[in-house]
Amino acid sequence: MKKIMVAVGSIRRPKLDGVSAAIATVAKLLDSGATFEITGIEVPSGVGHTPLSRADLMAGARNRAEALRMIAEESKSPWAYFVGVEGGFDVAHVADKRYVFLESWAYVLDTSGRGAFGQSGAVQVPEPLARAVVDEGVELSIAVDKFAGCQGIRDARGAWGVITRDLVTRQESFRMAVINAFAPFYNAPTFRSADTKSRAS
C-alpha cells in the first residue's frame, strides 16, 4: 500500500496528536488507497512566543509549513504535505471594548506549492488571563499555568481545556484547524468550481 508522508512543524504532543486525528478523519478523502505517516520537526514560527493577532497566527502557521518545505527540498525528504500549526490570541475592539480570543490556525502546503489556511474557531479569554498575556507580555504557557494553578498545561489540555472545562482541548482545536486547512485538497472539485465562477464573474 502506498504511504503518504506528512511533516508537522512541531514536536509538541497536542499539536502532533491534533494533526494525527485530523489526518485520520480526512485520509480516505485524500487518498483511499494510502496510509499516512506523520513526522514532527521543530521549526521556527517567525512570530512572537504568543501571537496577539490573527495576522501573526496565520503567518506563524504558514512560516512553519514553508520552513518544512525548504528542509524537504534540501534533504530530499519524501514528505507530501507540510503542516504548520499556531495557537495564540486575536485582539479585537468592538464599540470601544477590547475582546481577546484564543484561536488555533493551520496552514497546509503540498510539494507543488499549493497551500491553504484553516482555523479552529475561537473562544473568549477571561480578562485576567488576557491582561497577563496582552498587557504584561507573559508567555501564554506560563500565564495559563498560573491562572489555572497547574503546571505543564500547554502539553496537556492547553488554555482551550482550561477555558472550556475540557469540552474543547488544545489537541481538538488543532484537529479542527487542520481538517479545515485540508479542505481544498480533499474537496478539490468544489474549490476549482468556485475559482472558475470567480474568474468568470
Distance CA 64, CA 101 (A): 22
Mean pLDDT of 2-31: 96
Question: In this predicted model, what pLDDT tens digit does every residue of 157-196 receive, in sequence order?
Answer: 899 999 999 999 999 999 999 999 999 999 999 988 656 5
Q: Which pTM was predicted? A: 0.92
Beta-carbon contacts of 14 under 8 Å, excluding residues fewer than 6 positions away, are 154, 155, 156, 158, 169, 170, 171, 174
pLDDT, residue 64, reads: 98
Distance CA 88, CA 119 (A): 12
Question: In this predicted model, what pLDDT tens digit does every residue of 71-99 receive, in sequence order?
Answer: 999 999 999 999 999 999 999 999 999 99
The full set of domains in the chain, from first to last, is 2-200 (3.90.950.10)
